[in-house]
Amino acid sequence: MSTIIKNYRNSFVDVQNEELRILMDPWINTANEGSWAGCGGLKYIIKSLKKKPVDYIFISHLHTDHFDYKFLKDLKKYQKKKFSIIIKKFKDNRLKNKIKSMGCQNIIDLEDYKVFRLGKFSNFLILPQLSASNTLNAYINYDLDTSCIFQDRNVNLYNQVDNAYSEEDIRLVLKTLKTNKIDINFDLCFIPYCAASEYPQSFLKIDRKIEKNKIINQRLKNFFHISNMLRCKNIIPAGGSYQLDSIFHKLNKFLAIPSFDEIKKMMILKKINHFNIHNSKKNFYLFKNKELELTAYDYKNYFKNQFSLTTKNISYFNSNNQFNKKEIKEKLKILDKNLLEFKKKLYQKTNSKIKFIIWKIHPLKIKNIITNKNYIEHNVLEKEIGKKKKNLLKVHIFYKALLSIIENKCSWNEIQNHCLFERKPNIYDPDIVFWINLYKFK
């Protein structure tokens, strides 16, 4: 029997062979607190269960376009057969605990590079996160994301998901795999070609169209280099692709996400012909004895973005918090004073200081953000640390969103793209963006 591989959207990959079916990062519903559009793919997946039930689900990391809690609950409801969930053995158990909270006890947590037998001839292994992005960073230990490899008699599949490997990272991964005697002759590779970043669409005082093109060119350069290093003939641009929903949809025109045609055009321009790229929106992939056959896809009407253009999926809009400037300032003052010492030390090591511009109305709903003055300014840890830093990150944020973050009711990871930003100078500091995850009472 052959092995069938389908890439529905983003990093959602469905692999089926004669002995099992594994889903990688299934994502159907709205993500990132309602700011990313969901799709109607649940009906297709439920229908497909009659032909082939799901045996395993791999979740690469905690972000909601990869860990779709509602989809997993729905699958548990509609599929009688039990399935196991594969994750990395993270030091931080948040992902594992969330999976347990939905009543799923069949959790397989694997160490990096450890080969796990899914069946008689099907293997799986997890690759670690090595950095936060393609930009070098040194102060925060990133152990949040993963990539993976699936192997059977028909195919050796590498799925990078949206784990931001640099060229140096790829060299290290391939070297480690070779040392562990793991086959690195891949037949099909899923490589990220864009980053799920807030830049440039959420940044003020820049030319977002020019910056969009710069980012696309940078990402495609990395995409081509990584694809070349893997020495695989069949590459699928995947991961990091999404559309903004709700009040954020007006920023979609600035998203640094190239179309498949743009990628192909760049390959022709650069005379890159030592590997083929395939469009998942037009094909799925059938492998038999390592040979690839492209097959017309049968799910075209199911996985299109569905836009709601409302704020009903954004939980903090339902908060009862009032815009009381005195109370908000006092709360932030207390937070700065009582912030754990290790968090303060990490902040001190980063290159930037943070200033929150806290708005009564959501920044994206303000017609002229330059002239409007209905906000509160707060310099994080200003008396202790902030003034010593030259670089500045200004975060324009809705007051209900900020209060939800510091009160640990929602995650900065999920709603950082709900904000507008300014950088002085305009230099990316991944550590300071990540650090805001720590800015809370618990």
User: Would you give the end-to-end CA distance of the chain in angstroms?
Assistant: 52
Distance CA 189, CA 100 (A): 31
Q: Average per-residue pLDDT in the chain? A: 93
Cis peptide before 26 (omega within 30 of 0): no
Band of the pLDDT at 309, cuts 50, 70, 90?
confident
* Mean of pLDDT values over 224-253: 94
Tell whether the model's pLDDT for residue 127 goes beyond 90.
Answer: yes
In this prediction, residues 52-58 reach a mean pLDDT of: 98
User: Any bridge partners for residue 236, and if so which?
Assistant: 190
Q: What is the pLDDT of residue 139?
A: 55
Residues 6+ apart with CB under 8 A from 265: none
SS3 73: helix
The pLDDT value recorded for residue 301 is 84
Tell me whether residue 81 is exposed, middle or buried, using C-beta atoms within 10 angstroms of its C-beta: 0 to 12, 13 to 18, 19 or more: exposed
Cα–Cα distance, 56 to 44 (Å, whole number): 18
pLDDT of 196 higher than 70: yes
Distances (CA, A) of 171 to 147, 160, 226, 265: 14, 14, 9, 27
According to the model, what pLDDT value does residue 144 have? 83
Would you state the pLDDT for residue 164? 86
pLDDT in tens, 106-123: 999 999 999 999 999 999
Which DSSP string corresponds to 164-209?
Answer: ---HHHHHHHHHHHHHTT-----SEEEE--S----TTTTBSSS-HH
pLDDT at position 135, please?
Answer: 46
Least confident range from 23-37, 136-150, 286-300, 418-432: namely: 136-150
Q: Which two tokens stand for residue 263?
A: 């990628």
CATH number corresponding to 3-306: 3.60.15.10
161, pLDDT greater than 50: yes
Joined tokens for residue 390 = 């030259």
Q: Quick one: what percent of the chain has pLDDT higher than 70?
A: 97
What is the Cα–Cα distance from 160 to 148, expressed in whole angstroms?
6
What is the C-alpha to C-alpha distance for residues 336 and 380, in angstroms, rounded to an integer?
A: 7
The whole-number average pLDDT for the span 415-428 is 95
Q: Which class for 427: exposed (0-12), middle (13-18), buried (19 or more C-beta within 10 A)?
A: exposed
pLDDT beyond 60 at 18 = yes
DSSP lists the bridge partners of residue 237 as 191
- The mean pLDDT value for 217-226 works out to 94
Distance CA 126, CA 97 (A): 19
Kindly tell me if the per-residue pLDDT of 136 is higher than 70: no
Q: What is the pLDDT of residue 138?
A: 52
Over 60: is that where the pLDDT of 60 sits? yes
Q: What percent of the chain has pLDDT over 90?
A: 82
**Of the given ranges (132-141, 186-195, 280-289, 362-371), which has the lowest mean pLDDT?**
132-141
* DSSP at 50: T
Selected residue with higher pLDDT from 202 and 348 = 202
Among the ranges given (10-14, 73-77, 268-272, 369-373), the one the predictor scored with the smallest mean pLDDT: 369-373
- Residue ranges matching CATH 3.30.1050 in the chain: 315-438
Distance of CA 282 to the CA centre of its chain: 23
Pairing of β 352-359 and β 420-424: unpaired
Average pLDDT of the residues in 397-409: 97
Q: Where in the chain is the domain with CATH 3.60.15.10?
A: 3-306
pLDDT class for 134, splitting at 50, 70, 90?
very low
296 token code pair: 């017309």
Measured CA angle at 369 (ends 366, 374), to 5 deg: 80
Q: How many CB atoms lie within 10 A of CB 218?
A: 13
Q: At what angle do helices 167-179 and 208-230 cross, to 10 degrees?
A: 20
Q: Which of 440, 396, 400, 403 is nearest to 421 (CA)?
A: 396
Per-residue pLDDT, averaged over 68-87, amounts to 96
pLDDT of residue 113: 97
Mean pLDDT of 32-52: 95
DSSP string, 100-164: HHTT---EEEE-TT--EESSSS-EEEEEE---SSSS---SS---S-EEEEEE-SS-EEEE-TT--
88 forms bridges with which residues in the sheet?
A: 110
Give pLDDT, residue 407: 96
Residue 78 has pLDDT above 70, yes or no: yes
- CATH number 3.40.50 is the correct assignment for the domain at 315-438: no
Tell me the CA distances in angstroms from 268 to 227, 263, 264, 281, one per residue in order.
15, 9, 6, 20
Backbone angles phi, psi at 95, to 5 degrees: -65, -45
**What is the spatial distance between Cα 67 and Cα 81, in angstroms, rounded to a whole number?**
20
* pLDDT at residue 224, as a whole number: 96
